[in-house]
Structure 1
Amino acid sequence: MKAIFTSCLIVLGFFSIAQTKQDTTKKLNEVVIHPYFSAQPLLRSTGSIGLIDQAVMDKQPSASFVSTINTIPGVRMEERSPGSYRLSIRGSLLRSPFGVRNIKIYFDDFPLTDAGGNTYFNALDVSAAQSLQILKGPHGNIFGANSGGVILIQPQGTVSDSTTLGLKLEGGSYGLFRENLILNQQFNKYSFNLTQSYQRSDGYRDHSGMDRKYFQTFHKWDYAKNATLKAFIFYSDLHYNTPGGLTEAQYLQNPKSSRPAAGALKSAIQQNAGIYSNTLYGGIANNWQINEQLKHVVAVFASYTDFKNPFITNYEKRKELTLGLRSYLEYERKQTDLNWKFDLGVESMQTSTDVDNYVNNLGVPAALQASDKLKAAANFAFAHLTVDLFDKWLFELSASANLYKYGYESIAPIAIAKNTNSFDIQVMPRAALSYLVDQRLSLRASASKGYSPPTLAEIRASNNVINIDLQPEYGWNYETGLKYQTLNNRLFIDVAGFYYNLKSAIVRRLDENNAEYFINAGGTKQWGLESTLVFWVIPTNASNFVQSLQFRNAYTLSHFKFDKYQDKTADFSGNNLTGVPKTTVVSSVDVQLPKGCYAFFQHNFTSRIPLNDANTAYAKKYHLLQAKIGYRNLRIGRVPVEIFAGADNLLNENYSLGNDLNALGGRYFNAAAKRNFYGGLAVRFNKP
């Protein structure tokens, strides 16, 4: 086995000897996406869309989404410790001490983001997704309130025409162990998927262990020639410890340490700081093709989360229940030179949250500090028109009318009767066009409005005060770009430039007790440039020694500044936007060799990152290098087996991933793992 991996490394030095034989070269398929109700070639899309398919995910470490999602320009994902995700699209992390906010996420036809504006993205296992489409910039026109963007996740099993059984086992540094089982079964008009996984890790830092059990099932039944029923359920049991932020001196002295005790405050270990989260989610969707022109889709869904968070200063318990519906009617006409489609729909959901805070007595809840009940209702109606003229001009006009309100009731320490706070109805339009110059080049432009009301976790933050003065953030995004691909799809280039002017930006603050609260603080002016390049240096050709060689590059330039931003007596106008690196460059090389041997290398450069609004503290720039090699054609008896090994942070960089922004006492830093390794095997049976 060692000889196989050695051979894979040796042959990387001989790319130049590969000869292309045109008669055996496979034609590269055109990339097709489904961002706005229907399929369209990526070349003709009107927006900036990042696509992550199964092939891309297979090359990345499977223990986390971080490395995979960060291959998309304009998108930044962080992990303060295993399981503790933070995610931003085009630069908004000020609202997210942890988790995902001001981004809307869908699992197939079902919204994963609740009515309160929160998304438990870390509840998902990587194996749950078959592909992701990331729509950058505000897309409230058909997806409801968001100021950052939208992520559309295609679950495992949604595309399946065979019976598949797969098992994957993986182990690595810092106690990593991961097991994943996938079953796809096709019975004529009925198919189903079962996905199960278990993952645990001790973590790089002290008190940073995690443990997740995950189960998912997806069912599809074509019960009539013109109708399909889908059912989807997942259950996640997640626990991870939170080691806490370090000051720069502590970080440089011992980056593996957790937050120590300070004065009257106990340490993260003493308080057993961590997250305990159990989530059950389910939904049913029906797709009815009424006739050749008319289609109706309806989805109903529900979720329940039991959340516990022992923290340094308190112990929080939350119970959250969400119920919702999404439905739309679509009318389509296809003519010789003019195709058009009109969608009209609604989405309505409600989330009820019971939240209690206790004194944290060494990881055990003690005296009750505060108890509140909150209820959020997010409702919107939307309309979407697509016009395709001469297969060259693609026009999209869409808008939604959004109504958001929340109710609150305090039980302790002071009882407050039920109250409701409603925001004005907001109309979020989007106008976009794409022009196909020829079969290789397309140009596009768009304008869209973003709007994001405060989440329940911001209205009632960890200072246990219900902030009824907090207002939504909003703004206009203007964008233009071009896409170019060669006729044989060997080269693809996507370049986008945008300007986003965000108003009433919601930002996080900490009080003297290290409890967080949120305020509206002026706005931001965000100029950005993003580019994607995919080049098949050697197209797929089974007769070559190097059977394929693909190069990818993602470049992000973020010139993001605060605008008219004053906090008490400090004026931060003109400062760099906190938490956003100015430049990010991610490049990779994927090599396929004879007999199922492959190698993958990726480099990530991230420039320095401002850690506070005053721009007086920065995280240093860093270079990350990772590699993965494997062999697919191993057989044990009649069982096909793939073996692989990989390494991350090969340069052994000391860097912080998931900085605590504007942290009290300068505790900004959450050290990421130094050089680490993983390896495993995968078994997969396919029956046509």
Structure 2
Amino acid sequence: MHSKFKFFLFALTLYFPFTVWSHTPSDSISTEQDITPVLINAYFSQQPILGLTSSAQTINTRFLEAQQTTTLLPAVNTVAGVRMEERSPGSYRLAMRGSLIRSPFGIRNAKIYIDDLPLTDAGGNTYLNLLDPAGIHAIHIIKGPDGSLYGANSGGVINIQPEGFDVSQNQTSLLLSGGSFGLFQEQLSIQRKVDNNYNFSVDQSFTRSDGYRDNTKLHKKTLQTAHRWQYTPKNDLRFFALYSNLGYRTPGGLTRDQMEENPRMSRPAAGPNPSAKAQQAGIYNKTFYGGITHRAQLHPKLSHTVSIFGSNTDFENPFITNYEYRKENNLGLRTYFSYENIDHPQVKWQMQLGFEGQKGWYKIDNYDNEQGVSTDPQAKDNLDNIQHSFFYRAMINLYTRWTIEGSIGLNQSKIAYNHRFPEITNASGRINFGGIWMPRIATSYRVHKRLALRGSVSKGYSPPTIAEVRPSNQTINSELKAETGTNYEIGGRIETANRRLIVDLSMYHYQMDNGIVQQRNDRAEDYYRNAGEIKQQGIETSVWTYVLVPNRQRFIQALNVHSSASYNHYRFGNYEVAEQDFSGNKVTAVPDWVWTNTVLMSFPKQFGLNLSHNFTSAMPLNDENSVFSEKFHLLQAKGTWMWSLKNKRQLQIFAGIDNLLNERYSLGNDINAFGNRFFNPAPTRNYYGGMKIVL
């Protein structure tokens, strides 16, 4: 693309530092200038985000629909301090206030829930790519370690609110879309409010894509249902179930020269190792996940919540050097009592006492890979994992201005392993990461009814996951230690009287000990080691504003703006490997700057236009800091048109462009890659469009 045209388009994004919501059937233009207060599901209740003691953000349905509906990546990346990558269609990686150096298959250092049900399994892994965006009502994000209440995590907590628990009216919708590189998507959603006591939803989806690069085909099928039944005025029952059948090919990393020669190629053969295409490298995941939650109001001030959940996963990974099969079963329990006293309007307090525990059974077998067919066995292991935590929290709110809360959790994690093949001595053993106390003290003070200042001190804790103790090099590493650290954070949030402008600012310092980093051997297999100290310091800011409040009398009827930025000063402490000293280097896979801007513009005749911009600075791709990725600017656009039909039916037609500037960049880089195969080229400019009918 001509450089002047690139500069012009980028200048537009600077002039409009925007965040986008798509124009959905529930949207309406109003002359009311007071924006609804932002609520978040956090710390056992729904509450206004202004007085929250943590840095947090909510992504609602409109925000998710503002982008391409096949992926969570664009919406999640608008949250300062949270970064998601997609190496190929369906292959998610996510980091919360941290690096992607611990992400062989997905998410590390974060705890993710669906309502009160942990999606993160007993082994520490989260298959976030199993969810379809259409089945999500909202995503609530709490940044910073909070092991005191939510078990092992050092980056933060994500609570996903599925469709179905809060249905307000009967609705059926069907979405069909298609796009570049063989993209096709179908989503069907049925939501029913049977009466005031029972409602449910059923969400089904199918997505396929050939992908931008060779050997990147995706097929994904999901079926999800959520039910809520208030069978007595004081008792509530919730049920959630998900089945996902996900399969995608993995193209593998390229060297810089290979990427410049042909960014669409998959990893070619090198030395004794065949190519990714010849080995039919890919990921195949069939998972059933389900859980049930019961909430009982035992007394006007006392309630009890208990959740039982579990999952079954069949996982296959044909790789360059082996063919891996994993059978994973998980079972868990989360329960707590909550006491709340609001008798005195000027002094309100509450406390919770609870337990969360999970047990996982993992069977991992590796075979030779003969062009996508498993043959002779290489290694077979069983690993059983137990994680549990006891937690307590107390909170007091004084004169509706000052909130003080303290919480503490006792976390424990153990792994038992049995090496079944080949036969060796000392084939069985146990790894005990011990018990660790996880305290948190936090406060928020409303200097003014529209200005709140906050501060917190919290402990972070993240034991090695099953995928790190037994990585793709097939060696059980019993020497890995859990990451621990203390996070110090201050921040503030201000909003105008009519909420036309909201600003949030956070500053944190997290001193991590025994940081776990990813390495690769000459067979491109992963293994992990502790890197000693990692110093994580950062500044995050977000701005929301209505530049033009809703008004039907103008050509631009509404203009909504959001901009977020994060600065990450992450450095290794004392870190030496063999004769190499990496102390003081930048932490691998962390950009210094990430800046996102998004906008929603509404026009007459129910036309809407969404623009979004993402700038990510260069980042080191190895611990030596000798190889860096290129910085990039991504610009996306989506236009929608809503047409009202008879009997409250609606038709939405939409079209979008991704990577409008036609940037050539790498997303989901391979960290510390052997043979300099760091890069996974992302798609160039591409298009999509479709329709959604609501009945």
Structure-2-length-normalised TM-score: 0.94
Determine whether 1:394 maps to 2:395: no
What amino acid sits opposite 1:624 in the alignment? Answer: L
What amino acid sits opposite 2:200 in the alignment? Answer: F
Q: Which residue of 1 aligns with 2:510?
A: 500
Task: Give the CA deviation at 1:26.
Answer: 4.5
Check conservation: 1:26, 1:541, Cα contact below 8 A: no
Alignment of 1:75-90 (within 5 A): 75-90=82-97
Task: Give the CA deviation at 1:636.
Answer: 8.2
Determine whether 1:556 maps to 2:563: no
**Identical aligned residues as a percent:** 45
Aligned pair partner of 1:420 in 430, 451, 471:
430
Question: CA–CA distance in 2 between the matches of 1:23 and 1:255?
Answer: 47
Task: Tell me the alpha carbon deviations over residues 343-394 of structure 1, each in whole angstroms, 9 at most, x when there is no partner.
Answer: 0000011010000000001000010000000000001100011111100001
Question: CA–CA distance in 1 between the matches of 2:524 and 2:615?
Answer: 32
Determine whether 1:205 maps to 2:213: yes
Task: Give the CA deviation at 1:176.
Answer: 0.4
Question: CA–CA distance in 2 between the matches of 1:418 and 1:501?
Answer: 34
Task: Give the CA deviation at 1:555.
Answer: 0.5
Task: Tell me the alpha carbon deviations over residues 247-292 of structure 1, each in whole angstroms, 9 at most, x when there is no partner.
Answer: 0000111111100011211000000000010000011110101121
Count matched residues: 668
Determine whether 1:332 maps to 2:326: no
Q: Which residue of 1 aligns with 2:9?
A: none
Question: CA–CA distance in 2 between the matches of 1:633 and 1:139?
Answer: 45
Q: Which residue of 2 aligns with 1:346?
A: 355
Question: CA–CA distance in 1 between the matches of 2:594 and 2:391?
Answer: 35
> Cα 1:636–1:289, aligned 2, differ >3 Å: closer, same or farther?
closer
Task: Give the CA deviation at 1:91.
Answer: 2.1
Task: Give the CA deviation at 1:515.
Answer: 1.7
What amino acid sits opposite 2:336 in the alignment? Answer: Y
Task: Give the CA deviation at 1:34.
Answer: 1.6
Question: CA–CA distance in 2 between the matches of 1:651 and 1:47?
Answer: 36
Alignment of 1:349-428 (within 5 A): 349-415=358-424, 416-428=426-438
User: What secondary structure sits across from 1:437 in the alignment?
Assistant: strand
Q: Which residue of 1 aligns with 2:287?
A: 279
Alignment of 1:303-322 (within 5 A): 303-322=311-330
Determine whether 1:109 maps to 2:119: no
Determine whether 1:526 maps to 2:536: yes
Check conservation: 1:355, 1:372, Cα contact below 8 A: yes
Q: Which residue of 2 aligns with 1:135?
A: 142
Q: Which residue of 1 aligns with 2:612?
A: 602
Determine whether 1:70 maps to 2:77: yes
Task: Give the CA deviation at 1:121.
Answer: 0.8
What amino acid sits opposite 1:430 in the alignment? Answer: R
Question: CA–CA distance in 1 between the matches of 2:611 and 2:521?
Answer: 44
Task: Give the CA deviation at 1:50.
Answer: 2.1
Alignment of 1:612-651 (within 5 A): 612-633=622-643, 635=645, 639-651=649-661
Task: Give the CA deviation at 1:521.
Answer: 1.0
What amino acid sits opposite 1:140 in the alignment? Answer: G
Task: Tell me the alpha carbon deviations over residues 104-163 of structure 1, each in whole angstroms, 9 at most, x when there is no partner.
Answer: 100011000011101111111111211111111111110000111111100111221211
User: What secondary structure sits across from 2:639 in the alignment?
Assistant: strand
User: What secondary structure sits across from 2:74 in the alignment?
Assistant: helix
> Cα 1:646–1:411, aligned 2, differ >3 Å: closer, same or farther?
same
Question: CA–CA distance in 2 between the matches of 1:636 and 1:464?
Answer: 61
Check conservation: 2:33, 2:498, Cα contact below 8 A: no
What amino acid sits opposite 1:183 in the alignment? Answer: I
Q: Which residue of 1 aligns with 2:125?
A: 118
Aligned pair partner of 1:161 in 164, 168, 186:
168
Which deviates further from its counterpart, 53-62 or 634-643?
634-643
Check conservation: 2:39, 2:58, Cα contact below 8 A: no
Task: Give the CA deviation at 1:593.
Answer: 1.3
Determine whether 1:180 maps to 2:187: yes
Question: CA–CA distance in 2 between the matches of 1:92 and 1:130?
Answer: 28
Question: CA–CA distance in 1 between the matches of 2:526 and 2:206?
Answer: 33
What amino acid sits opposite 1:439 in the alignment? Answer: K
Task: Tell me the alpha carbon deviations over residues 456-511 of structure 1, each in whole angstroms, 9 at most, x when there is no partner.
Answer: 11111111111111110110111001100001111000000101111100111122
Question: CA–CA distance in 2 between the matches of 1:131 and 1:164?
Answer: 18
Question: CA–CA distance in 1 between the matches of 2:500 and 2:102?
Answer: 40
User: What secondary structure sits across from 2:468 in the alignment?
Assistant: helix
Q: Which residue of 1 aligns with 2:307?
A: 299
Which deviates further from its counterpart, 321-330 or 43-52?
43-52
Determine whether 1:659 maps to 2:669: yes
Question: CA–CA distance in 2 between the matches of 1:640 and 1:590?
Answer: 20
Question: CA–CA distance in 2 between the matches of 1:325 and 1:503?
Answer: 30
Q: Which residue of 1 aligns with 2:20?
A: none
Check conservation: 2:353, 2:393, Cα contact below 8 A: yes
Task: Give the CA deviation at 1:308.
Answer: 0.2
Check conservation: 2:243, 2:286, Cα contact below 8 A: yes
Check conservation: 2:31, 2:549, Cα contact below 8 A: no
What amino acid sits opposite 1:81 in the alignment? Answer: S
Check conservation: 2:165, 2:238, Cα contact below 8 A: no
What amino acid sits opposite 1:364 in the alignment? Answer: V
Q: Which residue of 1 aligns with 2:225?
A: 217
Task: Give the CA deviation at 1:58.
Answer: 1.4
Aligned pair partner of 2:260 in 252, 256, 279:
252
Q: Which residue of 1 aligns with 2:298?
A: 290
User: What secondary structure sits across from 2:50 in the alignment?
Assistant: helix
Q: Which residue of 2 aligns with 1:230?
A: 238
Alignment of 1:12-51 (within 5 A): 24-51=31-58
User: What secondary structure sits across from 1:495 in the alignment?
Assistant: strand
Task: Tell me the alpha carbon deviations over residues 81-124 of structure 1, each in whole angstroms, 9 at most, x when there is no partner.
Answer: 00011100112211112311221100011000011101111111
Task: Give the CA deviation at 1:634.
Answer: 5.1
User: What secondary structure sits across from 1:290 in the alignment?
Assistant: strand
Q: Which residue of 2 aligns with 1:487?
A: 497
Check conservation: 2:273, 2:523, Cα contact below 8 A: no
Task: Give the CA deviation at 1:420.
Answer: 2.1
Task: Tell me the alpha carbon deviations over residues 323-354 of structure 1, each in whole angstroms, 9 at most, x when there is no partner.
Answer: 00000000010112100000000001101000
Q: Which residue of 1 aligns with 2:269?
A: 261
What amino acid sits opposite 2:335 in the alignment? Answer: S
Question: CA–CA distance in 2 between the matches of 1:336 and 1:448?
Answer: 29
Check conservation: 1:181, 1:197, Cα contact below 8 A: yes
Question: CA–CA distance in 1 between the matches of 2:294 and 2:81?
Answer: 34
Check conservation: 2:174, 2:189, Cα contact below 8 A: yes
Check conservation: 2:589, 2:620, Cα contact below 8 A: yes
Aligned pair partner of 2:100 in 93, 97, 111:
93
User: What secondary structure sits across from 1:618 in the alignment?
Assistant: coil
Q: Which residue of 1 aligns with 2:444?
A: 434
Check conservation: 1:275, 1:308, Cα contact below 8 A: yes
Which 5+ residue runs of structure 1 have no aligned equivalent?
A: 1-11, 16-21
CA-based RMSD of the aligned residues comes to: 1.7
What amino acid sits opposite 1:370 in the alignment? Answer: A
Q: Which residue of 1 aligns with 2:23?
A: none
Which deviates further from its counterpart, 97-106 or 22-31?
22-31
Task: Give the CA deviation at 1:28.
Answer: 1.4
